[in-house]
A and B are shown apart, each in its own frame.
Chain A
Amino acid sequence: MSAARAMSEGFGKAESGAQLLARLEGRSSLRNLEPYLFADEGFPMHGDVIEFHGPEGSGKTEMLYHLITRCILPKSGGGLEVEVMFIDTDYHFDVLRLVTILEHRLPQSTEETIKLCLGRLFLVNCNSSTQLLLTLYSLENMFCTRPSLCLLILDSISAFYWIDRSNGGENYNMQELNMKKCVKFLEKLVREHLLAVFATTQTIMQKSSSSAESSFSLKHQCEAEVDYRPYLCKSWQQLVTHRIFFSKKCHSSNSKGFSIVSCHVKRNHVVKCSFSVAECGVQF
């Protein structure tokens, strides 16, 4: 019996030479990804989960395009030359916009070089929170076998919020069940494969001005400054290591139309900056 179990264990857990190498080599570094965005060290460490939060039109997706180009550009073009996995839950992703940004950033952009860069990007569309969960399971293999795939982007993780609430009936736990499972598996992926995750969430709720709100102790200085109402499940709130709030400035005195407040959740360190969006992408 033990021999059979040992055999089946071997069958299940055997990894190929490529996987072994991938595990030992570790993921490529994300140093210099974007110094303006990160409050602390200046680059996302492996294992970081960064949430982009803001209303629609505040520049979250543009910032993601900016990060993607920084990742997929070759080292000669000023990029990190790493691979990116993009999970799109609301059919938002615009390849043509990405190509425009790439063309502006590459010194000599030929069709070949653009396609080479795009070859480092993988895109998945998910239709429901169940499909998102199953897709995360099936992507595990890709993370195992590709050591240069170290960035996972989820745009957006809050897309199924209302649909899940409505499908779950009266029970809050049932409503959040799928999302909790996704978060749990995401945590496992991040831990085992040393990924960095960027996820966007929409500002669905606003702080009400009633006195009931003030009784919630606002643990973080940054939450006091922005209009932030957490609504996704607790396990997601606990997984996030950095939270970046996006907002659009109504009257831009210095022509920088968007601003961000970046908070490191554990160390309560806040950094603010602003950016504008041009044809060539985000400009700080």
Chain B
Amino acid sequence: MVILHAGLCPGLTAEMIQLLKANGIQTVVDFISSDLEEVAQKCSLSYKALVAVRRVLLAQFSAFPINGADLYEELKSSMAILSTGSKSLDKLLDSGLYTGEVLELMGAPGSGKTQVCLSIAASVSHSLKQNVLFIDSTGGFTASRLLQLVQSRTEEEEEQVEALQRIQVAHVFDIYKMLAALQELRHCMSQQVVCSVGPVKLLVVDSVSAVVCPLLGGRQSEGLALMMQLARELKTLAREFGLATVPTGIQVELDIGGYEALEERPGASGEEL
């Protein structure tokens, strides 16, 4: 909910905002959904000016459609396929990890998810020479195991060191820290600042369920909302920056209690929507 303030866009002056506020228009959504003719009359503002402001606000806050042909061109030039290092896994994944997409590894505890993640990280870092961010929320990441995996790929110590240097690890043990780590990654990537290593091509999150499960259950919806937010963040990071994202998790069926179908009730103060 963006509140109208002076300087939000050219043409939106402080006096205009005062007049609009006096007539109940406080946010961008209020402004855009109101009938501009009525507003022009009630606030005695110029209709032309209001239309111009509306156009700029819409351009600023709404999403732009992209043509299918353009999207296809863009994708052809920017999408890459990262091999996972294992031929059978590559075959299963239709030749590998696609950048811009999210691959979820699901399985019971002890089924090998962390091992697969470590091996993919080692392969991408060593063979493809790409940077990896490994977000560990279970404490299952061990550098010695990673070293073993890298050593099995090459004997030369220099190469091993380089491969290990390309993998950054973040230890997070609750969802807020995880969201913060993703925010930091986003900041790094959008600044195009060489954050000590360079742009990340693979993001591994082991595991998502470790930080999300404690929040679920019971009747509150905040846990579900946070989970949706985390999912969206992983997807948008993958899409916007051309990463391949690999979150892991356990599948759980929850009982979140009963929710009544929301009946429309008239507002307590008589406001009808």
Contacts and interface: CB of A to CB of B under 8 A. Distances in A.
Nearest to B256: A205
B17 interface: no
A198 B64 CA distance: 20
Interface in A151-198: 159, 162-163, 165-167, 172-173, 176-177, 180-181, 185
B144 interface: no
A158 to B, nearest CB: 11
Interface in B26-46: 28-29, 32-33, 36-37, 40
B71 A95 contact: yes
Contacts of A142: 65
Contact of B262 (A127, A208, A234): A234
B68 A91 contact: no
- Interface size bracket, B side: 35 or more
Contact of B47 (A11, A139, A229): A11
A220 B63 CA distance: 37
A85 B64 CA distance: 12
Given A125-B63, A162-B228, A185 B68 contact: no
Interface residues of A, number: 58
B65 A172 contact: no
B264 interface: yes
B171 to A, nearest CB: 27
Nearest to A229: B261
B62 A121 contact: no
B191 interface: no
B1 A165 contact: no
Interface in B200-240: 221-222, 224-229, 232, 235-236, 238-239
Nearest to B238: A91
B93 interface: no
A122 B262 contact: no
Interface string B43-75: 000011001000000110111111111011001
8 contacts: A95-B75, A124-B63, A124-B64, A127-B236, A138-B59, A162-B228, A177-B273, A234-B263
